């Protein structure tokens, strides 16, 4: 098949398709142009509610932390379980279905410094972030009222970040989120069909390493690539080289390697358009429901919105909202551009 012509690509993780239209990459752009924020931020901002020693909106005072700082979100999307947050009684009409949801929302400050991003943190500090993710999963995953732990970072105003201080979030829920239900189903279906083969993403990585065209870089334990089925223009995925179901299964060397991969990818992103690169990053892992989940493979998704420059973004509207996602730049072209970039931050 000629991949330079319009075609669809299948995502076996979610069971969804993406329309690829390479011929549209040259179309003129007269739409919205974003503002590029490049102001020099101070090392410490007295008005930032995440900086050490500052008072937050709810009145709590941050400790004078010097490493990674975790606290319960002051304005959480989920509340702790109560006597009224048990399973639904099923009395509602099936077309009007609702059920209580409870959980934990936490903020994870990557560094006490207000002026840095993940791409600018030293590797040892990124390793401390990875260790914190693991520790949080070990703590919350042991709770009977938690089934899934979603760790994510929204970087940049374009992605809705409410504060530029380097931080991410953790939402731990009793129910399985929609994307995790889809990825569990896709991976389980593959494992049941594959017979003697391994988990879906383990087999997929073997194919990608053999073909090579969508791989950006590798280290001893992780591979960073543009997925064959990528939706966002410069979407990437970080995958372990061995079968790892959850963050809590990572060994010491693998934690170092994950920190290395995060550093190398985020620096390349910043160098792509010579500007701070916005994205949503999320860690997908097996549920913490007491089941083994051999079908699952730990992986990280990066969903950046930028399309042509630091000021022109991809919009998911029209056909994308009503039919299926569509992209102009092919995953192979995106990988080639990211692969060619320096891993030394250029500004």
Catalytic (active site) residue 301: no
Active-site residue identified among 167, 284, 293, 299: 167
C-alpha dihedral sign at 160, 120, 122, 225: positive
Integer-rounded Cα radius of gyration of the chain: 21
DSSP conformation letters of 225-243: E--TT--STT-EEEEESS-
Helix, strand, coil fractions of the chain, as percent rounded to 5: 30, 20, 50
Tokens 């792509």 correspond to: 272
- SS3 label, residue 310: coil
- What SS3 state is found at 339? helix
Helices of type H across 112-251: 123-141, 178-194, 200-211
CA distance 15 to 134: 29
Q: How far apart are CA 196 and CA 181, in angstroms?
A: 24
Q: For tokens 């280290």, what's the residue?
A: 219
Give the separation between CA 145 and CA 347, rounded to whole angstroms. Answer: 45
| Active site members | 167
């Amino acid at each position: 098949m000629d991949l330079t012509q319009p075609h669809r690509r299948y995502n076996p993780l979610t069971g969804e398709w993406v329309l690829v239209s390479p011929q549209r990459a040259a179309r003129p752009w007269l739409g919205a142009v974003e503002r590029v924020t490049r102001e020099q931020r101070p090392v410490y901002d007295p008005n930032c509610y995440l900086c050490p020693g500052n008072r937050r909106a709810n009145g709590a005072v941050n400790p004078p932390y010097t490493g990674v700082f975790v606290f319960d979100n002051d304005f959480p999307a989920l509340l702790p379980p109560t006597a009224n947050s048990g399973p639904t009684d099923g009395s509602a009409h099936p077309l009007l279905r609702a059920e209580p949801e409870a959980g934990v929302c936490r903020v994870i400050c990557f560094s006490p410094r207000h002026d840095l991003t993940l791409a600018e943190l030293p590797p040892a500090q990124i390793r401390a972030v990875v260790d914190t993710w693991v520790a949080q999963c070990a703590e919350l995953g042991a709770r009977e009222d938690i089934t899934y732990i979603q760790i994510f970072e929204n970087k940049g105003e374009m992605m809705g970040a409410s504060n530029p201080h380097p931080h991410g979030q953790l939402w731990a829920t009793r129910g399985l989120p929609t994307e995790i239900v889809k990825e569990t189903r896709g991976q389980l279906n593959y494992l049941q069909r594959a017979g003697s083969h391994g988990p879906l993403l383990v087999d997929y990585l073997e194919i990608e390493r053999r073909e090579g065209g969508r791989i950006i870089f590798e280290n001893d334990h992780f591979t960073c690539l543009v997925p064959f089925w990528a939706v966002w223009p410069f979407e990437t995925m970080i995958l372990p080289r061995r079968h790892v179901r959850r963050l809590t299964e990572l060994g010491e060397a693998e934690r170092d390697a994950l920190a290395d991969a995060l550093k190398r990818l985020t620096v390349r992103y910043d160098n792509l358009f010579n500007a701070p690169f916005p994205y949503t990053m999320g860690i997908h892992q097996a549920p913490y429901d007491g089941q083994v989940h051999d079908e699952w493979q730990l992986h990280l998704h990066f969903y950046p919105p930028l399309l042509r420059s630091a000021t022109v973004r991809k919009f998911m509207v029209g056909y994308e909202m009503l039919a299926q996602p569509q992209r102009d730049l092919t995953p192979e072209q995106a990988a080639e551009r990211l692969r060619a970039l320096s891993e030394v931050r250029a500004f």
